[in-house]
Structure 1
Amino acid sequence: MSCTLKNHRAELAELLGPVFSNLGTQLLAVTSTELCDRVTSEDLFAALPIPAFTNSQMDGYAARSAELASASADCPVILPLGFTAAAGDRRITLLPGSVSPVMTGAMIPEGADTIIPVEESSTGSFPDLVRAHQGTPSGQATFTAPSKPGRFIREAGEDLGAGALVAPAGTRLTPTMIAALASSGLSEIPVRRTLKVALCTTGDELGGPNPAEGQIPDANSPMLAALLRRYGVDVRTLQLPDAPDRFAVAIDQLQEQVDLILTVGGISAGAYEVVRQALAGRGGNFHHVAIQPGGPQGFARLEHSVVLCFPGNPVSALLSVELFLTPLLRVLNGLPEPQPEHYPLAQTVSSPEHKHQMRRALLREGQVTILDPGSHLVHDLARADALVHIPVGVSELTAGQSVEIWRMNV
């Protein structure tokens, strides 16, 4: 059975929709180091306005604008000092015919409607100041110009009103959004629970860093786990037995522990394809997608979990995850879709007309150089900085032709 890239994407989106919807909610403190890049699970509304109260934008003098209306260089207005308002102080009252020194962020005194920066006073600096309940103010300030109402005053709620929507459900929490949540008086943030994934490699050919004869190191586990963690996935890696009955037992144990199981390898048409053998009789769906590399694909819906089955060659495995899973993870995590760029080809490239081919490439001096298509070339995969999609129906791209590229390995 064969299907198109578009159809297989749609199958997996439908399969994973309920998995993502059922993740549930976790409460995290707004100060938690785990909050960044998490996704809100419900609409969040401000408990406090931003700013929380009307305050001064400048270090200066709080005054009544009407009392400074006649001020000029030839006829300055001289007013005695009242108590000083510092950031964090309770609100004070400005007595008629006086000014109160006020610091940036301090509450605007009752009765004041304008702020004159200290630099605009005749001396350009503050005299000795007295805060409420700390003595009796003395001294005066001289002003040579009017100051209009509202000048350098930050009104309570001018950024966001109390009760207003701060972040809708599905918002990815950036550092600045976390600041907005904290400023709006929210202390605990409901976020979507992290997706738990078991990443399972298969194959007796997989060994450790120093494999025995006939074995190779397992590159897929660390590569794909690192990719998934970039998307906020809680991923664990393990190598499952290369025998169908034991593999099935292991899968049954895993489905009670995780939301999603990913298998790598064991789904081709050859013999000893353990994943296909173990899951084909349990609702597993295995078919060939018209792509290159990564044609063999599969999935299964189990009682408690979902299994996505990817091919085992490292290039095929990575590109399969990038094609079919990471777009869904971007939606889950509120991440933007990558945007293509356009550059000319450095050489003519052929492609199988009946397949959607994905070719790694190098972007050098404004030109795209296509690399070898081999799905086993791990180092070429690592050094590539672009991916070129050649769609079905195109058998050749010519040198100098403009092509779309997507950045990779960034």
Structure 2
Amino acid sequence: MRTVPEHLAAIVARLSPLPPVRLPLLEAAGTVLAEDVSSPVDLPPFDNSAMDGYAVCASDLATPPVTLPVATDIPAGDAAAHGIRPGQAARIMTGAPLPPGADTVVPVEWTDGGAHEVRIDRGAPVGNYIRRAGEDVRRGATVLAAGTPLGAAQLGIAASAGRPDLLVRPRPRVTVLSTGDELRPPGVPLEHGQIWDSNSFMLAAAVAEAGGAATRRSFVGDDPAKVRAALDAELEGADAVITTGGVSMGAYDVVKAVLSGGGEVEFEKVAMRPGKPQGFGLLDGRVPIFTLPGNPVSAYVSFQVFVRPALRYLQGLPAEGLPTVTAVCESALTSPEGVQQYLRGVLAFTGGGYRVRPATAQGSHQMAALAAASGLIVVPAEVTELPAGAEVEVLRLPS
């Protein structure tokens, strides 16, 4: 039986990061940069005003208040070469270029706001409220390094550096399929023995939280031919496939039956709870497939422990899972020897540290406790008992 780290390492060893593509800036949001980005100009590219006010010579303000004639107006974006002489002022807007001859900016709040002449009530030093050319970024400097996840701020600096598009590793396209004759779509009346399909919705949402682009396919039943056809249909449009259900030891575990014969997928028992039955392989030798258990909590924990790191790796990032914190556990815990256990809990930050309260319901089918959880308490395989007050590692769940 594999350990959790061994199974994750076996998965990553068979993956390759997605090839880079060039995308327009907004389409690059949520992807990972595959090139260094440098600025072709100083940022800002010219000295400019940080305030609405008046550009003047600081020496003219030695004995305030002073009244100066307003020689010109300079709005933001003005390309004309407006200059002033000592004894003059220029009314200037935020972001407008500093006129030649001026060496300081007085905010309008320090003046009477005059349009033809202005009374200035306070002095100001040289450089007051002036943004100097290059004070943010020097020409040629790298503003974003390859491997940077691209969010709003990163797209902002790329645009500031004049880039209309970027070379990125795209969001992995992931198809999610549930299997089982007992499944029905939410909203459809149930007959005896039937349940609504929850796993495909849950896992598709988890894919999006992990930075992927999810497509949820309608569930497929326990007919091997239909399962095979559904999988083959996804090969051209997916960078990865997730199935849930049909991977254990039962007579109707159809995913295992379909995929184990040709050696495409290796089915393993992993020393973890929940989530012991796992499978991973490459469809058609190239498309990663994760075959997760059918119990919903098992499927969710398996996703966070194995699929989430794999999706990061496909984007060229380290194969890391959820962020972790150390917390004081409010209750005593027991765990089977040799099995790494993931227990649902509620995290709270209080008194300068984290505390975690384990859920009372820990069955692999009990979704209500998962929906209320904010963390997964990790009990290592070598630990069988922990007293109340012990420190534990907790995986922080996406909010």
Query: Normalising by the residue count of structure 2, what TM-score does the alignment of the two structures yield?
Result: 0.87
Using a 3 Å threshold, how does the CA distance of structure 1 residues 167 and 118 change in structure 2: closer, same or farther? same
Write the distance in 2 (CA, Å) between the matches of 1:224 and 1:154.
48
The more displaced of 390-399 and 55-64 is 55-64
Cα deviation, residue 356, structure 1 = 0.5
| Pairing of 1:160-239 with structure 2 (within 5 A) | 160-209=137-186, 210-238=189-217, 239=219
Write the distance in 1 (CA, Å) between the matches of 2:299 and 2:120.
75
Cα deviation, residue 263, structure 1 = 1.3
Write the distance in 1 (CA, Å) between the matches of 2:229 and 2:53.
74
Candidates 107, 111, 114, aligned match of 2:101: 111
Unaligned ranges ≥5, structure 2: none
Match of 2:99, SS state, is coil
The residue that corresponds to 2:256 in the other structure is: 276
- 1:148-181 superposed Cα distances (whole Å, 9 cap, x missing partner): 3322211112111233222222222222222222
- 1:344-400 superposed Cα distances (whole Å, 9 cap, x missing partner): 322x32210111011112458955234333111122222233321111111112233
Match of 1:3, SS state, is coil
Write the distance in 1 (CA, Å) between the matches of 2:330 and 2:118.
75
Cα deviation, residue 318, structure 1 = 0.5
Write the distance in 1 (CA, Å) between the matches of 2:305 and 2:139.
43
Write the distance in 2 (CA, Å) between the matches of 1:198 and 1:166.
35
Using a 3 Å threshold, how does the CA distance of structure 1 residues 54 and 269 change in structure 2: closer, same or farther? same
Candidates 125, 130, 145, aligned match of 2:112: 125
Matched AA of 1:115: V
The residue that corresponds to 2:275 in the other structure is: 294
The residue that corresponds to 2:289 in the other structure is: 307
The residue that corresponds to 1:135 in the other structure is: none
Candidates 61, 71, 89, aligned match of 1:99: 89
Write the distance in 1 (CA, Å) between the matches of 2:97 and 2:244.
61
Using a 3 Å threshold, how does the CA distance of structure 1 residues 296 and 83 change in structure 2: closer, same or farther? same
Using a 3 Å threshold, how does the CA distance of structure 1 residues 301 and 141 change in structure 2: closer, same or farther? same
- 1:51-97 superposed Cα distances (whole Å, 9 cap, x missing partner): 232111233332334x438x325xx7665432222222223122355
| Pairing of 1:5-404 with structure 2 (within 5 A) | 5-16=4-15, 18=16, 20-22=17-19, 24-28=20-24, 30=25, 32=26, 34-65=27-58, 67-68=59-60, 71-72=62-63, 79-90=68-79, 91-120=81-110, 124-129=111-116, 139=117, 145=123, 147-209=124-186, 210-238=189-217, 239-283=219-263, 284-303=265-284, 304-330=286-312, 332=315, 337-346=322-331, 348-363=332-347, 366=355, 368-404=357-393
**Percent identity for Structure 1 against Structure 2:** 36
Write the distance in 2 (CA, Å) between the matches of 1:401 and 1:144.
61
For the pair shown, which has the larger CA radius of gyration, 1 or 2?
A: 1
Write the distance in 2 (CA, Å) between the matches of 1:282 and 1:27.
38
Is the Cα–Cα contact under 8 Å of residues 294 and 311 in structure 1 kept in the other structure?
Answer: yes
Using a 3 Å threshold, how does the CA distance of structure 1 residues 111 and 311 change in structure 2: closer, same or farther? same
Is the Cα–Cα contact under 8 Å of residues 349 and 370 in structure 1 kept in the other structure?
Answer: no
- Cα root mean square deviation, aligned: 2.7
Write the distance in 2 (CA, Å) between the matches of 1:240 and 1:140.
77
Cα deviation, residue 409, structure 1 = 5.9
Unaligned ranges ≥5, structure 1: 130-138
Using a 3 Å threshold, how does the CA distance of structure 1 residues 86 and 228 change in structure 2: closer, same or farther? same
Write the distance in 2 (CA, Å) between the matches of 1:373 and 1:405.
15
The more displaced of 351-360 and 77-86 is 77-86
Is the Cα–Cα contact under 8 Å of residues 47 and 186 in structure 1 kept in the other structure?
Answer: no
Using a 3 Å threshold, how does the CA distance of structure 1 residues 269 and 345 change in structure 2: closer, same or farther? same
- 1:3-34 superposed Cα distances (whole Å, 9 cap, x missing partner): 11010011112223x1x333x31412x4x3x4
Write the distance in 2 (CA, Å) between the matches of 1:81 and 1:362.
64
Cα deviation, residue 227, structure 1 = 1.3
Write the distance in 2 (CA, Å) between the matches of 1:406 and 1:337.
6
Cα deviation, residue 290, structure 1 = 0.5
> Any runs of at least 4 consecutive aligned residues in structure 1 with deviations exceeding 6 A, and if so which?
333-336
Cα deviation, residue 141, structure 1 = 5.3
